[in-house]
Amino acid sequence: MATEKDTEQSCLPGGLIPLDQWSAPDVSVHKTLRAGVKDILEQLRSGLTPESEAFESLDDLPSLSEKKLKRYAPEPDASALASAILVQLEALRQQGVHNRRVSFIVAPPFSGVTDALLTLPARVIEPPDNLLMTEQDADRWWDDQLGDGDWVVPELANFWLRHRSGLNLLKSFFARVALDSAGRGIVACSSWCWQFWIRYWPEIHVSPLTLAPLDSERLTGWLDFLAHGGNGRSLTARMTNDGLFVLPPQTDASNAKYSCFTQDLANAARGNRGVAHAIWQRALRAKPEEDAEQDEGAASAGKTAECWVVPFDQLSLPGVPQGSGQQAGIVLHAIMLHSQLTIDSLERVTGIANRELKLLLSRFLRADLIVQDETTQAYRPTSLGYPSVRKYLQARGFSVDGF
Amino acid sequence: MEELGLKDALSTITSGAIVEAIVVVVLASLLIIAVQKLLPMLAHKLTGKPRLYLLAMVPLLRLVIIVLTIVMVVPILVEPSFENMLAIFGALGLALGFAFKDYANSLIAGIVTLYEMPYRPGDWIEINGQYGEVRAIGTRAAEIVTLDDTVVVIPHGLLWNNLLANGNDGSDNLMCVAELYLEPNHDVVRMRELFRDVIYTCPLTKTYQPVVVAVLATDMGMKYRLKAYPLTPGDQTRFIADLTARAADVCAAEDVKMISRPLLWQ
């Protein structure tokens, strides 16, 4: 049984690190070249062949049921991550690495930090309805929000608009945080938002921290930790093509041959836990030869659960429709900068007419690149579509995040 | 010509050799046409650096094909002895020297262009007052397409004694400048800050490249220059127009009047 300390480490593999120490998981030259050629071929193929479905798998194995998927690859526990972040911050304070009153965590989308901060017993500061404020109004608003008591800002990207009048709220906030006059709190900031602001205001000095990237080893450990789900039952996952092992993690005593799937997964997700988790869920397959009831019975009897993993080259992730034009890039970039945007806000920051926006957004929805929040009606990116959106924007000269 | 030994060199040419040489030249021409048509077509489907690399390969491949064709055709027509080569190239030099001086000048400049690369397909250049994107580099001349969609043919020979301005120099970073003249006696610091916001909030701005707002007091008013990089060089017209429109909005909001030059010159 894992100890409490072990559990905390498994929940946040690698811990929190200074932002400038982050580096993408290693990727071979062969894989980089292959990805580059594949990207060029996809661009050339556009218009010649019909676009494929957003997601397809070429294997014949049955998908896992919802119940099994939740058991083998459950959503990470936000409160556990929040506790781990607090422990890490305290440890960094004791080491003298982090001595700011406001802790600034810059993380890529789907890192889970936003959800984690929402579980903390601290006052949550929500963005105002109107983000287009004058400098004086912005100062007054923060005066009202900050103050005594601990507070958290779950996502700073929601506090601004890329508009002439939409910058004042964050200008005021960054000035306060840099001067340590904003009280005591924790801020989560999307890496895309941060990338914009560090260029806009290079003098920002808030000592940002970030989550350590999940390399192959950390990712394997984390997926194994998730599969345990607190009940101690382990998961054995093997590749569908060659039977090589993916889980449980390799030990010195083990003679089993292991697949490089988690290395590919870490590279594809660029160490991003949310993206890696989403692809992992998609890659898991059931055992066709076993009767469902029999399998359930075996699992409840304490046996190790088993499932199959589809190789990477048999999975296709959602891709940005080729030949979408530059407006597509502008819309996707705006959504990434602000984490989520309603169509009215999109119209304001992109200058694209409402009718054209609707056409573009419907296309992205069909391609599984974005989803619309039912309550706020805001559009936000999907974890499976995120890698291709990032690659698409980078190839077209847009400023992308460093993660 | 006889003194040069050209007659002896050409006397060995047979009709069969001529046909063979023609076939080689026709095949090479077809290959060049295919390269000149296909590669730009593929390049325009791509974005970023792959597009520029593919475009830059066109003149290079054509040069390679021409050189290979010459290497293949000459031995077919004449025996490649030292005397024969001397005779042929001597006669060719004379002909080029007198009759096709300017043409040869541009041809040689074309080869220098491929080596020194003062401009490549995809570059935005200005030469002799003509500004546009290099679409093709031929053996003798380069073709640029201006912002008004006019094709201008520029002989490579102009390279020798003209100033050439290259806006992006083989990269996809092209600085653009939007210029404004404002009435004096306003808060310059505030206007500079607002214009900087204008640049950063324009969706076409490459925010990871430098952004500069320069201001100069001139006898025509305060001259502001908003300098930044658009997402792609092809966006420059739209980008400058967008920056100008946004800057004009700021002036209107701040009640700072813009000045147009023609009014001042009256």
B254: three-class secondary structure by DSSP: helix
Locate the chain B residue with the closest alpha carbon to A322: B45
Q: Does B201 touch chain A (CB under 8 A)?
A: yes
Q: For A348, list phi and psi in degrees, rounded to 5.
A: -70, -40
Which of A39-43, B117-121, B146-150, B157-161 has maximum average pLDDT? B146-150
What's residue A28's pLDDT?
66
Establish whether domains B124-166 and B176-253 are of one fold: no
Confidence check: pLDDT of A274 > 90: yes
Of B50, B197, B242, the CB nearest to A40: B50
Has domain B176-253 been given CATH number 3.30.1310.10? Answer: no
* pLDDT for position A326: 83
pLDDT score of A368 more than 70: yes
- Chain B positions in Cβ-Cβ contact with residue A329 (cut-off 8 Å): 231
From the CA of B230, how many Å to the nearest CA of chain A? Answer: 9
Q: Inter-axis angle of helices A273-283 and A261-269, to 10 degrees?
A: 130
- Kindly state whether A332 is in contact with chain B, defined as any CB-CB distance less than 8 angstroms: no
Q: Which residues of B touch A164 (CB under 8 A)?
A: 194, 197-198, 201, 246, 249-250
Instruction: Find all residues with CB under 8 Å of B151, minimum gap 6, and list them.
Output: B135, B143, B144, B145
Residue A44 touches chain B, beta carbons under 8 Å = yes
A163 touches chain B (CB under 8 A): yes
Which chain A positions have a beta carbon within 8 Å of B45's beta carbon?
Answer: 43-44, 46-47
A397 contacts in chain B (CB < 8 Å): 47-48, 172, 206, 231-232
| Position A300 pLDDT exceeds 60 | no
pLDDT at position A361, please? 95
Between chains, do A326 and B235 touch, taking CB under 8 Å as contact? yes
Task: Measure B12 CA to nearest chain A CA, in Å.
Answer: 49
Q: Is A196 on the interface with B (CB under 8 A)?
A: yes
A248 touches chain B (CB under 8 A): no
Work out the pLDDT band at A185, boundaries 50, 70, 90: very high
Angle formed at CA B27 by CA B26 and CA B29, multiple of 5 degrees = 65
**Is A398 in a helix, a strand, or coil?**
coil
Instruction: Tell me what pLDDT residue B73 has.
Output: 85
pLDDT digits (tens, 9 = 90+) for B160-186: 888 999 999 888 899 999 999 999 989
Cβ–Cβ below 8 Å for A44 and B46: yes
Substitution target in B38, B41, B46, B47 with the highest count of A β-carbons within 10 Å is B47
Chain A neighbours among B 47-76 (CB < 8 Å)?
Answer: 47-48, 50
pLDDT at A332: 96
> Would you place residue A334 in the very low, low, confident or very high pLDDT band (cuts 50, 70, 90)?
very high
Measured between CB atoms, which of A46, A200, A398 is closest to B231?
A398
Q: Which CATH class is domain B124-166?
A: mainly beta
Asked if A164 and B198 come within 8 Å (Cβ–Cβ), the reply is yes
Strand partners, A150: A184
A59-63, A161-165, A265-269, B237-241, range with the lowest pLDDT: A59-63
Model pLDDT, residue A146: 87
Which residues on chain A are in Cβ contact (under 8 Å) with B235?
326
Instruction: Indicate if the pLDDT at residue B265 is higher than 60.
Output: no
The distance in angstroms from the start CA to the end CA of chain A is 34
Q: B208 — contact with chain A (CB < 8 Å)?
A: yes
A325 touches chain B (CB under 8 A): no
Tell me if chain A has a CB within 8 Å of the CB of B246: yes
Put simply, the answer to whether A396 touches B250 (Cβ < 8 Å) is no
Least Cα separation, residue A397 to chain B (angstroms): 5
Q: Say if B10 is an interface residue toward chain A (CB within 8 Å).
A: no
Unique residue bearing structure tokens 């200005």: B126
Judged by CB atoms closer than 8 Å, whether chains meet at B203 and A40 is answered as: no
Instruction: Output the pTM of the full model.
Output: 0.81
Banded model confidence at residue B39, pLDDT cuts 50, 70, 90: confident
For chain B, the structural domain boundaries read 2-99, 124-166, 176-253
Show residues of chain B in contact with A47, CB under 8 Å.
Answer: 45
Q: What is the ipTM of this complex?
A: 0.85
- Which of A215-229, A347-361, B66-80 bottoms out in mean pLDDT, i.e. has the lowest? B66-80
| pLDDT for position A378 | 95
- Indicate whether A370 pLDDT > 60: yes
Q: Identify all chain A residues contacting B249, using CB atoms and an 8 Å cutoff.
A: 164
User: b/e map of B52-75 (b: 16 or more CB within 10 Å)?
Assistant: bebbbbbbebbbebeeebeeebbe
Interchain contact B204–A (C-beta under 8 A): yes
Asked if B187 is an interface residue toward chain A (Cβ–Cβ < 8 A), one would say: no
A282 pLDDT more than 70:
yes
Q: Which residue has the higher pLDDT, A339 or A9?
A: A339
Average pLDDT over residues A41-47: 65
In this complex, the residue of B48, B198, B250 whose CB is nearest that of residue A396 is B48
Residue A9: its pLDDT value, please?
Answer: 67
Report the residue of B38, B45, B52 to disrupt the A interface, i.e. the one with the largest count of A CBs within 10 Å.
B45
Nearest-Cα distance to chain B for A17, in Å, is 24
B183 touches chain A (CB under 8 A): no
* Number of Cα atoms under 13 Å in the Cβ half of residue A7: 17
Distance of CA B165 to CAs A21, B52, B116, B118, B174, Å? 41, 18, 15, 9, 12
Q: Are A81 and A7 a contacting pair, CB within 8 Å?
A: no
Record: contact A397-B45, CB cut-off 8 A: no
β-bridge pairing A235-239 and A305-309: parallel
* Per-residue pLDDT reduced to its tens digit, B43-94: 877 776 777 777 777 877 887 888 888 888 888 877 777 777 777 777 777 7
A2 at interface of B, judged by CB pairs closer than 8 A: no
Segment holding B127, helix H or strand E: strand B124-127
Q: Looking at the predicted structure, is the pLDDT value of residue B209 above 90?
A: yes
* CA closest to A46 among chain B residues: B45
Residue B117: Cβ within 10 Å count: 16
The pair of structure tokens assigned to B251 is 């002036």
Quote helix, strand, coil % in chain B, to nearest 5: 55, 20, 25
pLDDT at position A169 is 95
Average pLDDT, chain B: 85
C-beta atoms of B194 and A164 within 8 A: yes
Longest dimension (CA), chain B: 86
Pick from A34-48, A62-76, A314-328: least confident? A34-48
In chain B, what percentage of residues exceed pLDDT 90? Answer: 41
Report pLDDT for A54: 46
- Distance between A182 CA and the closest CA of chain B, angstroms: 25
Q: Kindly state the tokens that stand for B91.
A: 């006669």
pLDDT > 90 in chain A, percent: 51
Residue A1, pLDDT score: 37
Q: What is the token pair recorded at B199? A: 């640049």
Would you say residue A11 has pLDDT above 60? Answer: yes
